[in-house]
Structure 1
């Protein structure tokens, strides 16, 4: 590369998820780092995608998504949140939903739709690593608000103080990756008040929407009409149906915002994989119990891992949603979290994710001085979780 080449993302490095999974593979470690399920997608879903492929349904779909899938998404939204996503209340979803190639595409397109040069977007750290690069590529910048362990709760007074004339949008993520926290009804009402008062927009990352535990209700932005009126809501079929490699997601928004979203989406990725859209539409229609069973399914896995670690020297932080669990290793090592995860992978055979990469680079040194926390993924078979816990208990 020419020495005169100027990077548009000079501070971006290889994703920590890619790095730790590669390290886990190299050292044959149990991979509790990258957030993908160890178990397979439902047989029904696999049968339907194979059927679609062999029936020759392999060409482009409409850019917005197959009409039958849009309808089934709208029906699902109504079942879970009592919201009807169409201007005419017909539950067809044709005006309010776009199918995307994964939630990351939906997030990127939503950010490009909203953010203009000079705009600021409020994000909460620790934050998923795709938000800031997308904001920078749109010409905007991030206003970072740090959430403190162990509760990682949002202080809305601080949020209000951070809003200024440049503030364009706020990005929220609930259930939250990496902390496993869940926003409450009170949180959404306070957010709604700020959005109305300051004429802001919201991007709500809800990819773990069907994974909340202990009877906690997921407070989707879709439940709050005045808030949804200025929001993009992003969801993931990959997370819901254990098929992250299919890269299938969707975005919901009011018709006017969705019209602008689709203008960009059509040039990023004209349409998503047609056979998968057909299969998911049938899954949503004929196997709705898969989604309603997910909270108990993942709560059981959380409880297996938490129970297996009860005699360890780790301090286990609460996980109210997602399929992630945070561990404080202060009693075990003085290493910073990145070095600890490398040692854990290479020397002990368990791969985890450090939390510091979820913070901006400028804050990581100070983060290391205050926190010693790692993230484990429990979307694994019980045998794998128990095997990893047995190793961790020896530290």
Structure 2
């Protein structure tokens, strides 16, 4: 790398501009207020003050994850966030040939080639998550002085394939083709799902859980980690709930809610409140701990809830279809040790909705009742109104407004004829 420092005068005084070429040969520059700052910067980009420039990407992965793990232990980031970084980087970046490259050799073309290999073996949504984790790590490396720039910043995946046109030979009516951004359960589907949940177990736990999703608009993690202390019933029988914590999906540990806006109070309707109260009485009216707990008092894992509760209930409600997959099981013991591997076809139910769709239904029901966007934002616990409008904005305009909008074109054409 070639380096130089120039000085120039400004209205606020002298400034110093450091110029250098990075590992890709690109000319870069940065201004500083003092000559000392400029010289320190040049030392960092030429000699690798922190020792990272001469190390490999594999080394940076270890260094980065150690720092992130310490942040998770201190509560700065969620443990789930650290675990996602670890899986993405150790399993999908370290296993690739790019991990053996020195940091000084990392450039945008190298990252671009890695993304092509990644896209060839993973689904587009998951590959994009790994790219984000890699870019975040490289940006962190820039801040720590291990890299001069983030080579992943301009590396992108190829454009996504266009959506296929539906097979209209299999479509019987207008309503069967969905063109909305998200699939929201219809009121009839929601009624069928809640009825199946009520019949699922004797204590009424599933019915109460589903009411918090479909009537309370809770995130699944908020429902699974909901504390009894934050629930009370008013004189009219309505349940008032304060959402202050959630269960982390992967471990079932209890942690803070997603953001400050997620700390909120919601009130359930009379029907949902009645179901919740019956369940609370059935389990002995506890005053402490989690509302939905395992025998050991811990939160249910999201994966267990989805497999053991959500999927069979949606199957009973007619909102799931049966799929087949090949799974490997352990067979009889082998003479040379170990067990034989037996592959079998396994059938399971695949729901057409996820637990998060209960939240979508609650939002759509409030919009249909005339709720203002800001009111909906507070109900859902969104930190920004933009998020609320990006997800649910298409539900707000009424049909009359759409018709008037379309008629405006006819009026313009008529005036010119």
TM-score when normalising by structure 2: 0.24
Structure with greater contact order relative to length (CA < 8 Å, sep ≥ 6): 1
Per residue, is there more helix in 1 or in 2? 2
TM-score when normalising by structure 1: 0.25
